Amino acid sequence: MSEIHSMESHEAPESPARRSFIQIGLGAVGLGYAGIIGYPIYQYLSTPAQKAAAAGNVTSATLDGADKLPAKSVMMFKFGSEPAMLIHHADGSWVALGAVCSHLGCTVSFEADQNRIFCACHGGVYDPKTGDTVSGPPPKGLKKFKVEVTDGRITVSKA
Ligand code: FES
C-alpha cells in the first residue's frame, strides 16, 4: 500500500487583509507622487493670482529707519509683492516710486551721479522726481506713491 502525500505550499494564501494593506500602501505612494508633481504645478498656477492679490490689498508700507537715509541715496523696499524705491534727494525731498519698468517689467535702479532712474534691460530712463519717462522704450512712467514723514517714520502709500 502506498501513501499519497500531498504537496503543501509553505506560503500561506494571500489573505484579504494583506491584499488591502498592499493596496493602501500603493495608494499612499501614488498620492505622494501626485503631491510631488502637483504641488509645483499648483504653485506655478496660483502664484500670479496671489501676487496680484497681495499687491492689490496693500495700501501703505512703513519704512522704519528710512528717515536716516542720506541725501542722494535710495532705499529699495517691497510694496506688496513689487519692488519699489524711496529716494532721498539732494534738496531734502522724498520720492517713492515703483521700481518695475513699464516696458517689460525689469527692476530699475536710481543713479544718483546721473540724477536718473535707469533700466538696464533696454536703456529706459525715468525722471527720479516724477517717475515720468525721459527716454527709451518705456511707454509710461513708474508708479508713484505718497510719502509722509512723521516722527522719524516714513510711510509710503498709494497715491
Ligand atoms: Fe525697461 Fe525694457 S524693460 S526698458
What are the grid coordinates assigned to 13, written together? 494564501
Residue nearest to atom 3 of ligand 1 (CA): 104
The finding on whether 99 has its CB within 6 A of some atom of ligand 1 is no
Please tell me whether residue 68 adopts helix, strand or coil conformation. helix
Q: pTM of whole model > 0.75?
A: no
- Tell me the pLDDT of the chain (159 aa) as tens digits: 445 555 555 555 667 777 776 677 666 666 665 656 665 555 555 555 455 455 568 899 999 888 899 999 999 999 999 999 999 999 999 999 999 999 999 999 999 999 999 999 999 999 999 999 999 999 999 999 999 998 878 999 998
Q: What spacing in Å lies between the alpha carbon of 100 and ligand 1's midpoint?
A: 9
